[in-house]
Structures are given as structure tokens and as C-alpha cells.
Amino acid sequence: MRWFDALRRQSEIAYVRRRGRRAGLATLSAFGLEADGARCRFGITVSKATGGAVVRNRVRRRIRGALEALTPLRPEPIRILFVARPEAAAAPYARLAADVATALRRLGA
């Protein structure tokens, strides 16, 4: 069972991107905002500049896998949006997972 839920609605994703604190890294940017629900919620966006559908889905799965491998650093809920950069397509999984962990640390999740 995952320790987080997904951000699914476009309006909520846009709100987190507009209002959240930003942590920029080599392979992704992350935007964090306090949540009012009971669980942490994460969203992942990968633009077409990253590559075709296969590449974008691979990047999305790697980021989700890195999140599932981590345990939450704090019990309070938070909303975080991960925006993959084109460099994420060529990056090894270890680099992507390290950037996800660093982003969570910087945003206090």
C-alpha cells in the first residue's frame, strides 16, 4: 500500500505549481504546498519535450517508483508536484531517485 495519493485534477496541479515553494534540481523541479487532507499527495508531469510517449511514461514510472521506495519524513500531509525536465529521460534511475529524495527533503515532506 502506498503512503501517498495522486494529484489528479488539473486545477489542483495548477494551484500547487502556482502557489507552492519550488525546489529545482538537475532532472526535475518540485513544487510543495501544505495539504488539508489526511495523506500526502503527489503529482507528476512530463512534457513532450522529454520525448515520446514511451519515454515520458518510463520517466513517470521511475519517479513513482522512487516515491514508493521512500518513507515519509514527517506525518503531516503535503502536496508536491514533480515536473520532469528533458534531462530526466537520459538520467539513470539512481540519479532520478536521488533527486526525488533531495526535493522531498528541501520541501520538508
The per-residue pLDDT for 6 is 86
Helix (H, G, I), strand (E, B) or coil at 48: helix
Q: How far apart are CA 78 and CA 75, in angstroms?
A: 9
**The whole model's pTM is what?**
0.90
Q: Helical H runs in 42-85?
A: 53-69
Q: pLDDT tens across 11-66, in order? A: 999 999 999 999 999 999 999 998 777 778 899 999 999 999 999 999 999 999 99
pLDDT tens per residue across span 75-98 = 678 889 999 999 999 999 999 999
Q: Where is 4: in which H helix or E strand?
A: strand 4-6
CATH fold for domain 4-107: Ribosomal Protein S5; domain 2 (3.30.230)
